[in-house]
Structure 1
Amino acid sequence: MVDDTTKSKKKMKGLNSFVVMFVVMVFITLLTWVIPGGEYQLDKAGNAIAGTYSALPSNKQGLWDIIVAPIIGMVGNSAVSGAVAISLYVMLFGSFLEMMDETGVIGLVLKSVSKRFEKHPYVLITVLTFIMAFLGTTQGSYEEGYVYVSLFLPIFLALGMDSITVLMITVFGTQIGCASSVINPFSTGIASDIAGISFGSGIMERLLIFFVLTAFVSFIICLYAKSVKAHPERSIQFFRRDDDLLEFGGGSENSDNDQSMSGKEKSLVAVFISTFVIMVLALFPWTSINENFTLFQDIAEWINTTPIINTIIGSDVVAFGDWYFVELCGLMLIMSIISGKVAGFSIDKIIKIIMKGAGALISTALMVPMARGIQVLMTQGNITATILNATEKSIGSLPLIIFVIFAFVIYLVFACFLPSSTGLAGATIAVMVPLGSFVGVEPFIMIIIYNFALGIAKMFTPTSIIVMTCTQYAKIDYLSWVRGVWKQLAMIFAVCLAIVLLLVIVT
């Protein structure tokens, strides 16, 4: 069963992100031949000032420029910063995830939680939805969704619920986490880097959004599950009830086995959770929220200036609140090594796992300079300002609320055809964030819109890997999935749109 699903996952990848990015680069190059050059006056922060556009000579780009654009995007030049730090971070994040996968921590946690709350199904749904959302908001959980479905199906079928409930927990859970993407390096991290803002910008808002959206999604899943449990015939999969019970075990026979975690496993869970706690603390803009909260800066200053301490630890320690991708790379590497040692792995095995995990995400890491290559071509061709000027006079002239709704819908359409966080960010952020700034939408809010649209699209679009692999594993027809959850999807969209509008109004 898993083998077939894995094969399906490979078939369902849809448009290759590298092909899409290359086509976009060629298209941008052609635009430099027909669009006149231009520039905006910049404020002290380096942002374009609306209404200050002036013409510049065009600078046509060619084949050689297409070839070197991603390379410049990786190493940087005087006009565009390099993406090497974030690419390395993506790879080292992959190393950390591979280490967690090798130790089996996530599966142990899910089995332990399922056993503990098995007699309280709605509490179980809520807890599992929050765990799924946590995986989505921290690591962009996506392709491995069918693994979680395989763990949950026997439990919830035995509790009188249906396979749609299980897919809601997995697909809605992980993707609502991706929609908030508090510290997801593959969406918020890359988009923030392209937008030229701190990874921690808007983190407080994203954290609040995470709890609000996850609680809401848990609530609507519980309502659905309660309805199906009371009236099984209401399930769109009711015709398969007996077959599902037979094929997926129909009960949690394994739940009687001792699922308690050993001391070593508990330590690994602690390392896993503490890694993301440190990330939040390190990225949170403490002094910008309260200028008098200088605890972390004081600690860093003490380390950097205290004799012996600064010799042992170093004299360039960066305070929590000021971390960026260089510091995050160090965190991922250290935590991967610590996890391996806690698991009892030899140093050779730890290194092999780190290299394997980094290798698995090379394609994602290389998408970052590809996305930056688009910026390189637009910047060298002097057309960025001209495109922004055109959109400023058209879309940018819309009333603020209408603009936000329009941007949300446009992003949702784009995400349905390109459900790749790196690809979507690379193709759109460089234009949409400055455009939003013109009409009064903060850059971090535009990134939230991008995340919302991407998360919602991956809940239903047929180009979504998690949707297609999970539906196939659970024997649910794709159209049945859409018919079964369209009301919940509509509610999620409405709540996300309301949150964005509220953010725009209060900021």
Structure 2
Amino acid sequence: MKKKRKFKAPNTYVIIFYVLVLVAILTWIIPSGSYSYDKAGKVIANSYHSVATNRQGFWDIVMAPIIGMVGNEKVSGAITISLNVMLFGSFLEMMDATGAINIALKNVAKKYQKNYYVLITVLTFLMGIFGTVQGAYEEGFVYLLMFLPIILSLGLDTIVALMIVIFGTQAGCAASIVNPFSTGIASGLAGISPGEGIIFRAITFIILMTLCSAMICLYAKSIKNNPEKSVQFFRKKEDLEEFAKSDAGKQKLDSKQRKIFIIFILTFLIMIVSLVPWTSLNKNWTFFVNATKWLNNNLITGTILGHNLVPFGNWYFNKINGLLIVMTILSGLVMGYDIDKIIQIFIRGAASLVSTAFIVPLARGIQVLMTEGNITDTILNSTQKTLGTLPPIIFILVCFLVYILLATFIPSSTGLAAATISIMAPLGMFAGISAANMVVIYNFALGFVKLIAPTSIIVMTCTQAVHVTYGAWLKASWKYTLGYLAMLILLLVVSVFVI
């Protein structure tokens, strides 16, 4: 008897490669076109014109991820993001080598053994804060690897941890109360203050985070009561061995490990403080700018630290990468490791996440093909012609759908804002939709697409890191994703009347 073959979801890299091929084919079908831009780099409305066709072929597909890594004059490179992934691997490997985090996490897990609802809610809201303040996205796998030992030790599965990180951060990004990389940029391009619509976004944040926490708790309860229902039940033992290792005989941190734990917490506190846009929240909050100027201009600190320090609030991947290098080496020195051992741990940790780091430029290659193929502006122009005369509620829902399609191919918040807001914000005015409302639509679309799209870096890197196939993620999360989508649609309808 012939054995029935089971469906096997394709590898993450294969999925993204298929998308690259599809986009290349679209450059042969969709007419090429471009808008004109003013001196500030903003799109000039009604300036769309045809340009020479630049069909993308096999070699372009091959080169797209490479350009996606290093960048060119049209698309920024993803190398700093990939480096960030690997340096986080080094940092976490050092934390694992010291044993401090494992012991601390075990104590946290023990504290919440009988109340995992509280744990899930706290972690989900924490992820939401990161999303709404700093646009947490590419670094999501870091939080995943932090939480996973706790979640698994409670008898739950890797999907719960994935939901906490992915739903949590992206619900936060959907609200984007003060996110400088989405709300900040989009508002600037629309010619409005990031403060416009902030009350609605704050209320949205509370609603979405409450909904996501409740949904994840429902899923966790189901898995807790019936572990075999998990799509990852087949590798439960392997997950426990790989992600929940701990020294069962040791329950307390020694003096060195306590210092390591302080370094661990301090690293993330510095990251959060450095990424919050302080002067954007309040133009008078210049304390970090003033302090940094003093450090740069002071003879002693300027000589020792250098004259190019960047104030908290203006940090991005390069500065975070520098922080990770310093904290990884410092942790090794505190533990008394010699330099050879520190370097070995550093390299081992980076190597463990190379496969994850490579996903980032591969996904960025999609944007490269669309840009080089001159089809991005053509898609936007078609949108402008078909949406301008619709009633407000119909317009906002159709616009949301269009943004979902666009965000699938351009999942970068800055890239999508730069490519669309200058056109879509004026377009919304014809339908009676404010520019602040267009920013909400844009944020909601990104916050939805990044939950499920194969072009979402947080989905692909997180699932890859914990051995969950893309198909398994969709199977486990689709019901909750639909509930989340329904809430977004309801909030969009309400926004027509309140913004």
Structure 1 residues 176 and 384: CA distance shift in structure 2, 3 A: closer
The one-letter amino acid of 1:151's match is S
User: Displacement of 1:196 after TM fit?
Assistant: 13
- Equivalent of 1:451, from 439, 443, 447? 447
- Equivalent of 1:277, from 247, 269, 282? 269
1:75 and 1:84 in contact (8 A); partners too: yes
Residue 154 of structure 2 is matched in structure 1 by 152
Q: Deviations over 1:180-203 (max 9, x none)?
A: 466xxxxx99999x99999xx989
Residue 108 of structure 1 is matched in structure 2 by 103
Structure 1 residues 128 and 431: CA distance shift in structure 2, 3 A: closer
| Equivalent pairs, count | 449
- Matches of 2:85 and 2:95, distance apart in 1: 15
User: Displacement of 1:348 after TM fit?
Assistant: 1.9
- Equivalent of 2:170, from 168, 175, 179? 179
Residue 296 of structure 1 is matched in structure 2 by 288
Residue 140 of structure 1 is matched in structure 2 by 140
- Matches of 2:298 and 2:497, distance apart in 1: 46
2:120 and 2:164 in contact (8 A); partners too: no
Residue 419 of structure 2 is matched in structure 1 by 434
Residue 47 of structure 2 is matched in structure 1 by 52
- Matches of 1:223 and 1:215, distance apart in 2: 12
Residue 377 of structure 2 is matched in structure 1 by 385
- Equivalent of 1:99, from 82, 94, 97? 94
Q: Deviations over 1:374-396 (max 9, x none)?
A: 44444444433223212322357
Tell me the secondary structure at the aligned position of residue 394 of structure 1.
Answer: helix
User: Displacement of 1:237 after TM fit?
Assistant: 6.7
Tell me the secondary structure at the aligned position of residue 16 of structure 1.
Answer: helix
Residue 159 of structure 1 is matched in structure 2 by none
Which TM-score applies when normalising by structure 1? 0.67
The one-letter amino acid of 1:391's match is T
User: Displacement of 1:53 after TM fit?
Assistant: 1.4
What is the Cα-based RMSD across aligned positions, in Å? 5.4
User: Displacement of 1:443 after TM fit?
Assistant: 6.3
1:304 and 1:317 in contact (8 A); partners too: yes
1:129 and 1:170 in contact (8 A); partners too: no
Which TM-score applies when normalising by structure 2? 0.68
Residue 286 of structure 1 is matched in structure 2 by 278
Structure 1 residues 411 and 238: CA distance shift in structure 2, 3 A: same
- Matches of 2:55 and 2:289, distance apart in 1: 47
2:267 and 2:327 in contact (8 A); partners too: yes
- Matches of 2:368 and 2:464, distance apart in 1: 33
Q: What does 1:342-357 align with in structure 2 at a 5 Å threshold?
A: 342-357=334-349
1:190 and 1:368 in contact (8 A); partners too: no
The one-letter amino acid of 2:311's match is A
Q: Deviations over 1:379-423 (max 9, x none)?
A: 4444332232123223576566556545666787999xx9xxxx8
Residue 84 of structure 1 is matched in structure 2 by 79
User: Displacement of 1:273 after TM fit?
Assistant: 2.6
The answer to which of 402-411 and 344-353 deviates more is: 402-411
- Equivalent of 2:411, from 399, 417, 425? 425
The answer to whether residue 307 in structure 2 is matched with residue 315 in structure 1 is yes
The one-letter amino acid of 1:39's match is S
Residue 27 of structure 1 is matched in structure 2 by 25
1:391 and 1:435 in contact (8 A); partners too: no
Identity of aligned residues (%): 38
The answer to which of 334-343 and 494-503 deviates more is: 494-503
- Matches of 2:202 and 2:333, distance apart in 1: 31
Q: What does 1:363-378 align with in structure 2 at a 5 Å threshold?
A: 363-378=355-370
Q: What does 1:451-470 align with in structure 2 at a 5 Å threshold?
A: 451-455=447-451, 465=463
Query: 5+ unaligned residues in a row in structure 1: which ranges?
Result: 1-7, 154-162, 183-187
Q: What does 1:178-257 align with in structure 2 at a 5 Å threshold?
A: 178-180=169-171, 213-219=208-214
- Matches of 2:271 and 2:460, distance apart in 1: 33
User: Displacement of 1:23 after TM fit?
Assistant: 1.3
Residue 160 of structure 1 is matched in structure 2 by none
1:134 and 1:174 in contact (8 A); partners too: no
Query: 5+ unaligned residues in a row in structure 2: which ranges?
Result: 1-5, 174-178, 241-245, 426-436
- Matches of 1:239 and 1:66, distance apart in 2: 40
The one-letter amino acid of 2:25's match is F
Q: Deviations over 1:33-65 (max 9, x none)?
A: x623x3223245413233221233334555554
The answer to which of 21-30 and 204-213 deviates more is: 204-213
User: Displacement of 1:14 after TM fit?
Assistant: 5.4
- Matches of 1:284 and 1:173, distance apart in 2: 22
- Matches of 2:439 and 2:312, distance apart in 1: 22
Structure 1 residues 122 and 372: CA distance shift in structure 2, 3 A: closer
User: Displacement of 1:95 after TM fit?
Assistant: 2.4
Structure 1 residues 446 and 433: CA distance shift in structure 2, 3 A: farther
The answer to which of 331-340 and 168-177 deviates more is: 168-177
- Matches of 1:315 and 1:78, distance apart in 2: 29
- Matches of 2:209 and 2:320, distance apart in 1: 26
